[in-house]
Structure 1
């Protein structure tokens, strides 16, 4: 049975994928009290990495779409952390976004808005969060964006 939050996602045309497995020696999330700390999720859609460097071969619109894809993976991890019940998610606490960009590129916040806007669109007020958006000279596998998050659960 689909819960309330997954119904909202479905209305947006989003089906959460299976939570991506870690690519190295770490766990995908850690639960501490009522907080879920989700490891960085790289930009990926339909099993394919979204690669590129903002300011070189990728524009802000494509970067924001990559950040949105990261947000979807973050929610998939939260769902896994909640034993499959996404309705246990109470709020998004903080996102930290890393943007693969040239030294001259300065629109990292606009790129990470792709994730922030999605969280608010999908979750409403509980999707509003604290945030950092920073540049990275390179990211794993050449991905455009990587985002980690902290979520409060019930």
Structure 2
């Protein structure tokens, strides 16, 4: 397993991985609006646009293919994290999270976790930080992790 920055060549596979994992784990619990919102956010074009901003995007590559993606916005917010369904519980998420947090630029890192991903974020050391919310059909649980200074 190799963790590295997302490149333009990775965009189609990174987008497909996020959409596949989302469709299996999150989409069944959301409205059509939430599914459409995520589809727009996870498109290759949207990833490409965010690459131009202050977003750290890392991928985990194994067996010659992208197996996981994490996006850290402005050095302080986990905007997206997905692991290929057949690679979950094999350390991909842990490695991605560690690599992203090593480059965090804030004392507290936040995430708006999908409800199905809350247990995973708890394993990474995040705690609940507010009430469940909803934005454009996406339902989320605010969470945060205080980093050692």
TM-score, normalization: structure 2? 0.31
**By percentage of residues, which structure has more strand?**
2
TM-score (normalised: structure 1): 0.31
Higher relative contact order (CA closer than 8 Å, sequence separation 6+) = 1
